[in-house]
């Protein structure tokens, strides 16, 4: 287990502890300094995860796919996505811990409980991607790359050659189907996490005084 995974596990356990027994771990959120620190941790973690998700999902990944040879793009993503999901999972866990500390479940309003639910949803989706879908996607990608190298494709930009060859190659077609299913689940979890963060951004915006 790498240091990043150990750190993430510690943050998640800490977030769970703050969620269920905030007073035991951090005391009552009555001191101004503690409250300000929790707010700062929450805002910075949320902003980091929101910005990273926005860039990776809608900007960076699309630009790379349209400009890099497909195998190069896939290999780069296989290195980037574990780091990406580790980062936003840690940020989501910190956001959960900070928000649960500021708004303990027993005294939280209905709106605050919904917001905590959105944050937990984002954390769950990110962890499912980090621990389940991303490793499966990378493994499937490597298998497909091997098949494509044997067929002398994969160094082009875009999907055109893959789709053309798959029409006459059942093995590649089957691999494309498996990869598409796993990658689709990963993308769905990522979009659900982004949607949960979007809902929370609306809540935070309603609290600002500009």
Q: How many residues does the chain have?
A: 210
Q: Which residue has the higher pLDDT, 41 or 2?
A: 41
> What is the model's pLDDT at position 7?
59
Q: Rounded distance, CA 167 to CA 176, Å? A: 11
The 10s digit of each residue's pLDDT in 125-169 is 999 999 999 999 999 999 999 999 999 999 999 888 898 999 999
pLDDT digits (tens, 9 = 90+) for 90-103: 999 999 989 998 99
pLDDT, averaged across the chain: 87
Alpha-carbon span 69 to 155, nearest angstrom: 5
pLDDT per residue as tens digits for the range 198-208: 999 999 999 88
**Cβ-based neighbour number of residue 175 at 10 Å:** 21
CB 84 within 8 A of CB 127: no
What average pLDDT does range 179-197 have in this prediction? 95
Share of the chain above pLDDT 90, in %: 71
pLDDT at 3 over 80: no
Instruction: Inform me whether the pLDDT recorded for 31 exceeds 70.
Output: no
Give the pLDDT confidence score for residue 19 in this predicted structure: 56
Residues 6+ apart with CB under 8 A from 193: 53, 88, 92, 121, 122, 125, 126, 129
Residue 116 has pLDDT above 60, yes or no: yes
Q: What is the mean pLDDT of residues 6-26?
A: 57
């Amino acid at each position: 287990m790498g240091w990043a995974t150990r750190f993430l596990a510690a943050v998640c356990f800490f977030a769970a502890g703050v969620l269920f027994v905030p007073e035991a771990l951090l005391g009552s959120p009555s001191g101004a300094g503690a409250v300000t620190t929790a707010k700062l941790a929450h805002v910075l973690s949320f902003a980091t995860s929101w910005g990273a998700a926005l860039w990776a999902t809608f900007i960076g990944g699309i630009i790379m796919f349209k400009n890099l040879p497909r195998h190069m793009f896939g290999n780069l993503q296989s290195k980037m996505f574990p780091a990406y999901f580790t980062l936003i999972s840690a940020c989501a866990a910190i956001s959960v811990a900070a928000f649960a500390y500021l708004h303990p479940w027993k005294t939280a309003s209905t709106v605050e409980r919904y917001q905590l639910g959105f944050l937990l949803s984002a954390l769950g989706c990110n962890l499912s991607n980090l621990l389940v879908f991303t490793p499966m996607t990378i493994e499937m990608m490597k298998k497909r790359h091997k098949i494509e190298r044997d067929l002398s494709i994969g160094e082009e930009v875009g999907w055109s050659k893959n789709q053309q060859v798959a029409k006459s190659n059942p093995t590649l077609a089957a691999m494309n189907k498996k990869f598409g299913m796993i990658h689709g689940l990963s993308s769905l979890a990522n979009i659900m996490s982004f949607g949960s963060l979007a809902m929370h951004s609306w809540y935070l915006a309603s609290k600002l005084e500009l």
